[in-house]
Structure 1
Amino acid sequence: MRHISKVGLGVAGVAVLLFSQATAAHADVAAQGNDIVGIGSDTIQYAADFLADGDYQGNPGFNAAGGRVFNFDATGDASGKLTAGATVVLRGGNFPVTRPNGSGGGLTYLTQTDTGAVHKVQFVRSSRKPTKAEDDRAVANGWGGLRCYQLGLDGLKIAVSKTVASNAGTAGISTADLKKIYSSPPQITTWGQVTGYNGPNPGATIVPILPPATSGTEQFFIAQIGLTEAQLRTTAEGLVRAEEHDASVIQSNANAIAPFSTARLVMIHNGYFNAGAAQDPITLLSGGSAFDVTRPVYFIVRNSEINTSWNKALFAPNGFLSQSFLAQPLIEDSAGFTYQYADAGLCHTA
C-alpha cells in the first residue's frame, strides 16, 4: 500500500515531497535520483506518513518543491502487523532487500549496508538514540556521526487484553517483577507470583510478548527493566516474539502482556485501523508501581547531510518538523505522541 499527497504548504527550499509505504516490491513507485528515502521504526512510521501526506483528521501534510520522499514502513502491512520476509526496493534500479524492520534494523542498514557513494536511504525513524557502536560506524564511514531530530515523546506501558477479561488484575506489574518475568530462566511464571496481585486467576501462566530484537521498543524496554539480549527469556521458556504494538496478539489472550506505545493506542482508539470505528481491544496497566516510562522518538540522518536542502526544509530548525502549527496536529492529535521538537545534535547512548 502506498500514499501519495499533492497538498502544497509552501515551505521554502523543497519541491514535491511525498511519503510512500510499500508492500510487494514490483508494485511500488521506486525512488529515483534525488528522492529522499526513510526506513526504520514501526513506532513512528505513521507519524512520518502523516507529516507528508496529511492525516485521517483532515490536517494537511508537507509537500513542497524539489524532490520526493519515500517513507517505507517497517513491515509490508499498513496496519503494522508482521509480514515475515517482506522485501522492498528502496531505490529504482536496485534489487529488492529484506524490509528493514525497527530502529535497530534501520540503523543497521544505514550504517553497515548503505555505505556506498550513492545512498539509497537518507533517514531512519527511531524510537531510541543510536548506540555508540552505531554512531562509531557512522564516523568510520566518513559521515561525522549521526544527527538526531526529536519529533516528540512517547509513553511505554504494559498492555493486556480488554477484548477478553485479562487475568492481570488492576495492581499493575512493577519493573522489578517484569525483570523476573522476562529473564532467563524466568523467576515469575504465574500471576500469583506477581507482587500485589489482585486478579482472578493466580495459577494461570503469564504469556510474555516482545517485539523482534531489531525493534527500538524491545531494546529500550529490556534496558529499562535491567536486562540484556543475552539475559532474555527464550521462546523455549515461553517468550513470544511478535511485531511491536500489534494489539491482535494480545487482545484475545487473557494471560498476554507486552510493552506497548501509548501513542499507538491513541490511533487504535481513534479507529485508524478499523475504518474510523473507535475500538479498545487492549488496556494499559497504570497506577501504583506499574511500569510507566516516557521516551523521546527521533528522525536520524547522517551528520554530513544536515546542510542539504532537503534536510533544512524537513527536519532541521525552521523546517517543517520544527513548525508546531504545521507538525503538532499531525504528530500529537493523530499519531498520538506529545509533540516536542528538538535538534538533538550528534547523539548516541553510552
Structure 2
Amino acid sequence: MNVKSRARLGAVVGTAVLGVGVLATPALADPPAGEYRVLAGVGSDTTQDVVNGLGDVVLRDVDGDGQVDDKVIASYNATPAGSTVKTRANGCTINRPDGSSAGIDALRNAVDNSTGCLDFARSSRGPADTSTQDLTWIPFAKDAVSIAVRDDSALANGLNLTTAQLRAIYTCSLTSLNNVALTPLLPQASSGTRTFFLGRIGVTEAQVGGCVGTMQEHNGVELDTAGDIAPYSVAQYIAQVTQTVTDRHGATVLGQIDSSDPFTADGELNSGFVYSRDVYNVVPSSKLTDAVIDDVFTGSDAKVCAATATIKKYGFGTVTNCGDTTLKGER
C-alpha cells in the first residue's frame, strides 16, 4: 500500500454551501476532562460528531434526584490515533480506537474481560461477522458515501462515476480519467466507511490494487493533488462545509455515482442515494435490558431517536427503523 500522510495548510473555510444553512460553532470533541458519564463509547470517525452532539442533548435523571438534567452519553473521538482516553474515574485508560472496527473490537474486549470501561461502539457499517449474536447494531441515522475529488482538478468536471468504473479504479485497472492520472485513496484499515465502500463496489481487501493509498477518513485536506479520489461521508461533508463540525473538507467536492446525486435540491443528504447506509450504535446484546441503554438507544421511543433536530444538524437523515434491535453479530 502507498500510505499517504502529508501535512497541509489551510483547509478551505468559505461561506455555507449547498444551501444547508448558516455557519455554526464546531462541535467539541470528547467530554470535558474529569467528566465521566454513564455510557462511554468509541469508534467511528463518521458518527463521532453527531454522537458528541447527542451527548449534549440526551438527558436523564442519572443520580435519582428527580431532575432530568444529567448528560448520559460520553463519546470519545476517533483521533488523534495512537492517543489514549480515560472513560471512568478509576482506571479505564485505553488506546483511542480509530474507526468502526477498532471501536467494536475495543467494546468486545471490554465485554470479554468485564472491564466496564465501554458501553457502546459507534459504527458506520453493519456486522462483518455473524457467527455469534453477542453484539447488537442499533440504527439511529442515515448517511451516504459518495466520491470526493478536488474542485480544481479536471476530475471534477461533470463527475459521475459508475460502480464499474470505481471497481476498476480501486483494482488499478483504470488509471486515468479526463486526462488526469488517478491516485485513489481509501480510509484507514479500521474504517467502517472503507468496509462499506469496498462492499458496494464489489472489491475485497485482497483485490485492492497497489496504486491505492490510505488517508484518515473524511479528511478532505489530504486530497492535495489533481488525481486524488476518495470515498467520503455525505453527512460529514455537509457538517464540515457548514462548520457544524471542524471543517476538514479542504478543496473537495462530491460527485454523482451511477447518476445518483448525494444531495437533495436544498443541499441536504439524499437518503435515496445509491450508496446510502444506516449508521449504528453497537451495544452488548446482554445489556439490551439495561435501563439506561434501553432508554437511550433501543426502540422507537429511544432518546437518541427523538433527537431528530440534532441528527439533521450534523448532516444525517432520520431512519424509520431507529432503535431496532434485530441486527446482531460478533464484530
Same fold? TM cut 0.5:
yes
Match of 2:55 among 38, 52, 55: 52
Q: Does residue 287 of structure 2 align to residue 283 of structure 1?
A: no
1-side partners of 2:249 and 2:275: how far apart?
Answer: 24
Which residue does the alignment assign to 2:277? Answer: 295
Question: Does structure 2 conserve the Cα–Cα contact (< 8 Å) formed by 1:42 and 1:101?
Answer: yes
Q: Helix, strand or coil for the counterpart of 2:231?
A: strand
Task: For residue 289 of structure 1, report the CA deviation from its aligned partner.
Answer: 4.3
2-side partners of 1:65 and 1:227: how far apart?
Answer: 47
Match of 2:185 among 209, 221, 224: 209
Which residue does the alignment assign to 2:310? Answer: 330
Task: For residue 156 of structure 1, report the CA deviation from its aligned partner.
Answer: 1.0
Task: For residue 274 of structure 1, report the CA deviation from its aligned partner.
Answer: 5.8
Which residue does the alignment assign to 1:190? Answer: 176
TM-score by length of 2: 0.77
Question: Does structure 2 conserve the Cα–Cα contact (< 8 Å) formed by 1:40 and 1:100?
Answer: yes
Which residue does the alignment assign to 2:78? Answer: 74
Q: Which amino acid aligns with 1:321?
A: V
1-side partners of 2:278 and 2:145: how far apart?
Answer: 11
Question: Does structure 2 conserve the Cα–Cα contact (< 8 Å) formed by 1:107 and 1:130?
Answer: no
Q: CA RMSD in A?
A: 2.8
CA offsets per residue over residues 123-165 of structure 1, 9 Å max, x none?
Answer: 11111112225x62xx5xxxxx222221111111101112x23
- Alpha carbons of 1:288 and 1:120: their partners in 2 closer, same or farther (altered >3 Å)? closer
Which residue does the alignment assign to 2:33? Answer: 28
2-side partners of 1:178 and 1:349: how far apart?
Answer: 29
- Alpha carbons of 1:231 and 1:170: their partners in 2 closer, same or farther (altered >3 Å)? same
Question: Does structure 1 conserve the Cα–Cα contact (< 8 Å) formed by 2:181 and 2:227?
Answer: yes
2-side partners of 1:95 and 1:316: how far apart?
Answer: 26
Q: Does residue 207 of structure 2 align to residue 231 of structure 1?
A: yes
Task: For residue 42 of structure 1, report the CA deviation from its aligned partner.
Answer: 0.7
Which residue does the alignment assign to 2:98? Answer: 101
Question: Does structure 2 conserve the Cα–Cα contact (< 8 Å) formed by 1:20 and 1:69?
Answer: no
- Alpha carbons of 1:282 and 1:349: their partners in 2 closer, same or farther (altered >3 Å)? farther
CA offsets per residue over residues 90-125 of structure 1, 9 Å max, x none?
Answer: 333336332111111111111245422342111111
- Alpha carbons of 1:232 and 1:330: their partners in 2 closer, same or farther (altered >3 Å)? same
Which residue does the alignment assign to 1:269? Answer: 241
Question: Does structure 2 conserve the Cα–Cα contact (< 8 Å) formed by 1:21 and 1:70?
Answer: no
Which residue does the alignment assign to 1:321? Answer: 304
Give the alignment of 1:104-253 within 5 angstroms: 104-133=101-130, 136=132, 139=133, 145-162=134-151, 164-183=152-171, 186-191=172-177, 199=178, 202=179, 204-233=180-209, 237-250=210-223, 252-253=224-225
Task: For residue 265 of structure 1, report the CA deviation from its aligned partner.
Answer: 1.3
2-side partners of 1:287 and 1:212: how far apart?
Answer: 22
Q: Helix, strand or coil for the counterpart of 2:275?
A: strand
Q: Helix, strand or coil for the counterpart of 1:74?
A: coil
CA offsets per residue over residues 15-64 of structure 1, 9 Å max, x none?
Answer: xxxx98449xxx932637xx2101111111111111121xxxxxxx1222
Task: For residue 182 of structure 1, report the CA deviation from its aligned partner.
Answer: 1.0
Q: Does residue 46 of structure 2 align to residue 63 of structure 1?
A: no
Question: Does structure 1 conserve the Cα–Cα contact (< 8 Å) formed by 2:36 and 2:89?
Answer: yes
Question: Does structure 2 conserve the Cα–Cα contact (< 8 Å) formed by 1:175 and 1:225?
Answer: yes
- Alpha carbons of 1:150 and 1:84: their partners in 2 closer, same or farther (altered >3 Å)? closer
More displaced 10-residue stretch of structure 1: 312-321 or 37-46: 312-321
Question: Does structure 2 conserve the Cα–Cα contact (< 8 Å) formed by 1:303 and 1:346?
Answer: no
Question: Does structure 2 conserve the Cα–Cα contact (< 8 Å) formed by 1:271 and 1:279?
Answer: no
Question: Does structure 2 conserve the Cα–Cα contact (< 8 Å) formed by 1:269 and 1:280?
Answer: no
Which residue does the alignment assign to 1:7? Answer: none
Q: Helix, strand or coil for the counterpart of 1:339?
A: coil
Q: Helix, strand or coil for the counterpart of 2:112?
A: coil
Structure 1: state its 5+ residue gaps: 1-18, 54-60, 76-82, 140-144, 192-198
- Alpha carbons of 1:300 and 1:84: their partners in 2 closer, same or farther (altered >3 Å)? closer
2-side partners of 1:295 and 1:37: how far apart?
Answer: 24
Question: Does structure 2 conserve the Cα–Cα contact (< 8 Å) formed by 1:151 and 1:298?
Answer: yes
Structure 2: state its 5+ residue gaps: 1-26, 64-71, 261-272
Which residue does the alignment assign to 2:42? Answer: 39
Larger RCO (CA under 8 A, 6+ residues apart): 2
2-side partners of 1:210 and 1:288: how far apart?
Answer: 20
CA offsets per residue over residues 213-272 of structure 1, 9 Å max, x none?
Answer: 111000010011111112112xxx33221111111112x322111111111111122123
- Alpha carbons of 1:104 and 1:260: their partners in 2 closer, same or farther (altered >3 Å)? same
- Count matched residues: 282
